[in-house]
Amino acid sequence: MAVARAPGREWLGADRANLVAAFEWAAAQHDWECAALLLLRTFTVFYDHPTEGIALTDRCLAEQIGSEDIAMKLRCNQWYLYLRVADHVSARSVVDRLRASSDPVHQVFGICHDANAVATFDTARAASLLQRANQIQATLPPGADATQAKG
């Protein structure tokens, strides 16, 4: 399937090759958290290359990333990339996994993804939701002390 090219993204081609090389380096070091964070921070580079982004994301998710929060954010990116290639079945499975999470934030994003994007196939709204998902910072549970969380 041909993917519409976003205006102004032509300059990302060379950066994409460098990012893939950095991803491959992190993977060779078995530093999957680094590889995952690289994908999260550079997600828009793969906007015009969704199948490549899906493949890299799948590789990360198949490994032990070390953080369920990072894994869930990767799944949000994966969901959007699935929509870009019109793989609605796979996008739906990501939504189901988000909704089944024990983390209420991930549950809410699963519900939002489901209600506002997957059902309507509105990729612009999906992109907006994805940006919000990636901006969420982990919060401490009620009564937790920040110094305990660092230790």
Q: Is the pLDDT of residue 75 over 80?
A: yes
In 3-state terms the chain splits into helix, strand, coil percentages (rounded to 5) of 70, 0, 30
Residue 140 CB neighbours (<10 A): 10
Paired tokens of 61: 């998710």
Instruction: Provide the pLDDT for residue 34.
Output: 92
- pLDDT, average across residues 66-86: 85
Amino acid letter at 8? G
Q: Is the pLDDT higher at 3 or at 20?
A: 20
- Please state, in angstroms and as integers, the Cα–Cα distance from residue 136 to each residue in 2, 7, 68, 69, 110, following that order: 32, 27, 13, 10, 14
What is the distance between the alpha carbons of residues 16 and 150, in angstroms, rounded to a whole number? 34
pTM: 0.65
Q: Is the pLDDT of residue 137 over 70?
A: no
